[in-house]
Amino acid sequence: MHSILTAIFLLLLVFSPWHVLGSDNLQKTMNVDVALVPPMVVKHGNSYAGFDVELLEAIAEELHMSVTYREVPFARIFDGVKNGEAHAAVAGITITEEREKFVDFSHHYFDSGLHILVHAEAGISTFRHIWDIFVKNKMYKWFLSLFGFIFFLANIVWFSEHHKEQISRRYFPGIFDACWFVIVTMATVGYGDIVPRTWVGRILSSIIMMFGITFFTLATGNIISAMTVERMKSDIQGPRDLEEKHVATLEGATSVDYLRGIGSRVHAVPSISDAFTMLEKKEVDAVVYDAPVLLYYEHHDGNGTVMITGKKFEEQYYGIALPQGSEIREAINRALLKLRQSGFYGNLYKKWFGDS
């Protein structure tokens, strides 16, 4: 009887596909569930790559384990871990208090957050365009300085020309006549009703003309530059602009609850690529999801058709999802630390994200 039980136990060890063999003399296998979330998890033919995949395989190598993958929708990324079919799950998974109730996580290995992706043709309205140029880009300072300088020169003109009958002898409205003279001279559009009669007025007029040419050249260049930059922006500049907007995101992601909380009309899709397709077809106003995923798409498949708008918000941290009480959690954490100290992690980060 004892020998029969022993034989059954050995058979279970050999043929159980979801068990990590405990003996150091036998090949260990880590069964991992993944969801396609480039650049964290990318599929090439029948194999997988990406930041998460390469990091996990380096961890497995440190633990002398092999890795097998099973692809699942992101909305079901925790199912295998919870029911014991998978030893781990990776797909740019954010660590949250709610998720910690039914799975364990490794130490966090990636700092992330949410970004907003819009169509490249989603230009801002005319009023907001003007507002952003003169207020956000502080162009108003140029014009305040100009008006102050014009008023200063106008006083000199009035003192030198007011007795020549072209400018009122009284300060008011004479100062307005002088301001008009300075503006006309600065813009080099020629003289009309007021012509300088004194040498002081003529010398000052020459200075004003040279200053005007320089100023308007610089001002025009700065305004055109500011207009070009602002035209590349969208009416959606941050989370507050997403209220009542149609926004696509990944089903099961933390961004779903966030968007509903701010009043967006959420379109939760099973694959992030579906969200990108909806944006390119202009079926939604924006896509909101994790920063590295949107930045990667913007610079690769979406280059020229979409753009990131605003700053990153809702700071997040990625971790490897593990079954509660996982026996390999501490080993994974030690391997993560070793890979950071050895420089492997830094090189892997540069490979997928550059020096940003």
CA distance 93 to 51: 12
Q: What is the pLDDT of residue 178?
A: 85
- Mean predicted lDDT score pLDDT of the chain: 84
Host H or E run for residue 174: helix 171-186
CB 196 within 8 A of CB 182: no
Q: What is the pLDDT of residue 226?
A: 56
Q: What is the pLDDT of residue 158?
A: 86
Is the predicted pLDDT of residue 136 greater than 80, yes or no? no
Q: DSSP secondary structure string, 93-153?
A: PBP-TTGGGT-EE-S--EEEEEEEEEETT-PPPHHHHHHIIIIIT-THHHHHHHHHHHHHH
Is the predicted pLDDT of residue 232 greater than 70, yes or no? no
pLDDT digits (tens, 9 = 90+) for 21-31: 444 433 489 99
pLDDT band of 20, cuts 50, 70, 90: very low
CA distance 130 to 80: 53
Is the predicted pLDDT of residue 156 greater than 60, yes or no? yes
pTM assigned to the model: 0.64
pLDDT band of 165, cuts 50, 70, 90: confident
Q: What is the identity of the amino acid at 293?
A: V
Is 319 strand, coil or helix?
coil
pLDDT band of 130, cuts 50, 70, 90: low
